[in-house]
Amino acid sequence: MERRFLVDVMLGKLATYLRMCGYDTLYANEEELEADDAIRKRAKTTGRTLLTRDQTLAAQTEGAICLTATAIEAQLSELHKQGIPIELPTTPTRCSLCNGGITQIDSNQHPNHAPDTVDHVWQCTDCDQYFWKGSHWERVQETIAAVTT
Protein backbone atom coordinates (compact mmCIF):
# COMPACT_ATOMS: atom_id res chain seq x y z
CA MET A 1 0.00 0.00 0.00
CA GLU A 2 1.21 3.48 -0.91
CA ARG A 3 2.45 5.69 1.94
CA ARG A 4 0.10 8.63 2.57
CA PHE A 5 0.87 11.59 4.80
CA LEU A 6 -0.77 14.36 6.79
CA VAL A 7 1.66 17.15 7.64
CA ASP A 8 0.94 19.67 10.35
CA VAL A 9 0.92 23.44 9.90
CA MET A 10 4.65 23.76 10.66
CA LEU A 11 5.62 21.67 7.62
CA GLY A 12 4.03 23.36 4.59
CA LYS A 13 7.16 23.30 2.45
CA LEU A 14 7.63 19.61 3.23
CA ALA A 15 4.08 18.96 1.94
CA THR A 16 5.09 20.49 -1.41
CA TYR A 17 8.23 18.34 -1.66
CA LEU A 18 6.38 15.14 -0.72
CA ARG A 19 3.72 15.84 -3.33
CA MET A 20 6.41 16.39 -5.95
CA CYS A 21 7.85 13.02 -4.91
CA GLY A 22 4.45 11.50 -5.69
CA TYR A 23 3.13 11.06 -2.15
CA ASP A 24 -0.54 11.68 -1.40
CA THR A 25 -0.01 14.42 1.18
CA LEU A 26 -2.58 16.48 3.01
CA TYR A 27 -1.47 19.72 4.64
CA ALA A 28 -3.30 20.55 7.88
CA ASN A 29 -3.42 24.26 7.05
CA GLU A 30 -5.18 23.61 3.71
CA GLU A 31 -7.56 21.22 5.46
CA GLU A 32 -8.34 23.89 8.10
CA LEU A 33 -7.11 21.56 10.85
CA GLU A 34 -5.73 23.42 13.83
CA ALA A 35 -6.62 21.47 16.96
CA ASP A 36 -4.49 18.46 17.81
CA ASP A 37 -7.58 16.27 18.23
CA ALA A 38 -8.78 17.15 14.72
CA ILE A 39 -5.33 16.43 13.26
CA ARG A 40 -5.11 13.06 15.04
CA LYS A 41 -8.63 12.13 13.93
CA ARG A 42 -7.95 13.04 10.26
CA ALA A 43 -4.70 11.04 10.24
CA LYS A 44 -6.49 8.00 11.65
CA THR A 45 -9.65 8.17 9.54
CA THR A 46 -7.70 8.68 6.30
CA GLY A 47 -4.98 6.11 7.04
CA ARG A 48 -2.19 8.66 6.89
CA THR A 49 1.10 8.93 8.71
CA LEU A 50 1.24 12.20 10.62
CA LEU A 51 4.43 14.21 10.14
CA THR A 52 4.91 16.87 12.80
CA ARG A 53 7.51 18.80 14.77
CA ASP A 54 5.20 18.82 17.81
CA GLN A 55 6.58 16.17 20.20
CA THR A 56 3.38 15.97 22.24
CA LEU A 57 1.17 15.57 19.17
CA ALA A 58 3.50 12.89 17.77
CA ALA A 59 3.50 10.98 21.07
CA GLN A 60 -0.30 11.01 21.15
CA THR A 61 -0.72 9.90 17.52
CA GLU A 62 -0.17 6.26 16.59
CA GLY A 63 2.48 5.85 13.89
CA ALA A 64 3.37 9.57 13.78
CA ILE A 65 6.85 10.69 12.82
CA CYS A 66 8.26 13.57 14.83
CA LEU A 67 10.77 15.64 12.90
CA THR A 68 13.26 17.82 14.73
CA ALA A 69 14.63 19.90 11.86
CA THR A 70 13.32 23.27 10.74
CA ALA A 71 15.09 23.41 7.34
CA ILE A 72 13.57 21.50 4.43
CA GLU A 73 16.84 19.76 3.56
CA ALA A 74 17.20 18.37 7.06
CA GLN A 75 13.53 17.34 7.18
CA LEU A 76 13.92 15.40 3.93
CA SER A 77 17.08 13.81 5.30
CA GLU A 78 15.25 12.74 8.48
CA LEU A 79 12.52 11.07 6.42
CA HIS A 80 15.11 9.40 4.19
CA LYS A 81 16.87 8.01 7.28
CA GLN A 82 13.48 6.71 8.48
CA GLY A 83 13.32 4.57 5.32
CA ILE A 84 10.91 6.77 3.38
CA PRO A 85 12.08 7.03 -0.24
CA ILE A 86 12.66 10.65 -1.20
CA GLU A 87 12.99 10.92 -4.97
CA LEU A 88 11.30 12.67 -7.85
CA PRO A 89 9.42 10.38 -10.22
CA THR A 90 10.26 10.39 -13.92
CA THR A 91 6.72 11.55 -14.62
CA PRO A 92 5.01 13.84 -12.09
CA THR A 93 1.84 12.39 -10.55
CA ARG A 94 0.66 14.91 -7.93
CA CYS A 95 -0.10 18.61 -7.90
CA SER A 96 2.35 20.31 -5.57
CA LEU A 97 -0.24 22.99 -4.80
CA CYS A 98 -3.40 21.04 -3.98
CA ASN A 99 -2.40 17.33 -3.94
CA GLY A 100 -4.68 16.53 -6.89
CA GLY A 101 -3.73 14.14 -9.66
CA ILE A 102 -2.09 15.51 -12.77
CA THR A 103 -2.22 14.40 -16.38
CA GLN A 104 -0.05 15.22 -19.35
CA ILE A 105 -1.73 17.49 -21.87
CA ASP A 106 -1.32 17.60 -25.65
CA SER A 107 1.44 19.84 -26.94
CA ASN A 108 -1.09 21.99 -28.81
CA GLN A 109 -2.82 22.78 -25.48
CA HIS A 110 0.28 24.15 -23.71
CA PRO A 111 -0.44 27.39 -21.85
CA ASN A 112 1.02 30.59 -23.27
CA HIS A 113 3.21 31.11 -20.19
CA ALA A 114 5.01 27.76 -20.66
CA PRO A 115 8.49 28.16 -22.17
CA ASP A 116 8.79 27.15 -25.84
CA THR A 117 11.60 24.75 -24.89
CA VAL A 118 9.28 22.61 -22.76
CA ASP A 119 8.31 19.29 -24.32
CA HIS A 120 5.86 18.02 -21.70
CA VAL A 121 3.25 19.91 -19.72
CA TRP A 122 0.94 18.45 -17.08
CA GLN A 123 -2.26 19.89 -15.66
CA CYS A 124 -3.89 19.28 -12.28
CA THR A 125 -7.26 17.59 -12.59
CA ASP A 126 -8.47 19.43 -9.46
CA CYS A 127 -7.13 23.01 -9.56
CA ASP A 128 -6.15 23.25 -13.29
CA GLN A 129 -2.60 24.44 -12.42
CA TYR A 130 -0.01 23.72 -15.16
CA PHE A 131 3.36 22.08 -14.46
CA TRP A 132 6.50 21.36 -16.43
CA LYS A 133 10.04 20.35 -15.61
CA GLY A 134 11.84 23.67 -15.43
CA SER A 135 14.23 25.42 -13.08
CA HIS A 136 12.05 24.77 -10.01
CA TRP A 137 12.00 21.02 -10.76
CA GLU A 138 15.79 21.09 -11.17
CA ARG A 139 16.31 22.90 -7.83
CA VAL A 140 14.09 20.39 -6.03
CA GLN A 141 15.96 17.55 -7.72
CA GLU A 142 19.31 19.01 -6.57
CA THR A 143 18.02 19.43 -3.00
CA ILE A 144 16.80 15.83 -2.90
CA ALA A 145 20.03 14.50 -4.38
CA ALA A 146 22.04 16.37 -1.73
CA VAL A 147 20.09 14.85 1.17
CA THR A 148 19.77 11.28 -0.08
CA THR A 149 23.38 10.57 -1.06
* pLDDT 10s digits, 43-95: 999 999 999 999 999 999 999 999 999 999 999 999 999 999 999 999 999 99
pTM: 0.93
pLDDT at 118 (0 to 100): 81
Report the residue count for the chain: 149
Q: How many CB atoms lie within 10 A of CB 26?
A: 21
**Mean pLDDT of all residues in 121-126:** 94
Does residue 99 surpass a pLDDT of 70? yes
pLDDT at 1 (0 to 100): 55
- pLDDT tens-digit map of 48-61: 999 999 999 999 99
- How far apart, in whole angstroms, are the C-alpha atoms of residue 80 and residue 128? 31
**Mean pLDDT of all residues in 125-129:** 95
Angle between helices 72-81 and 135-148 (to 10 degrees): 50
- How far apart, in whole angstroms, are the C-alpha atoms of residue 92 and residue 133? 9
Does residue 144 surpass a pLDDT of 90? yes
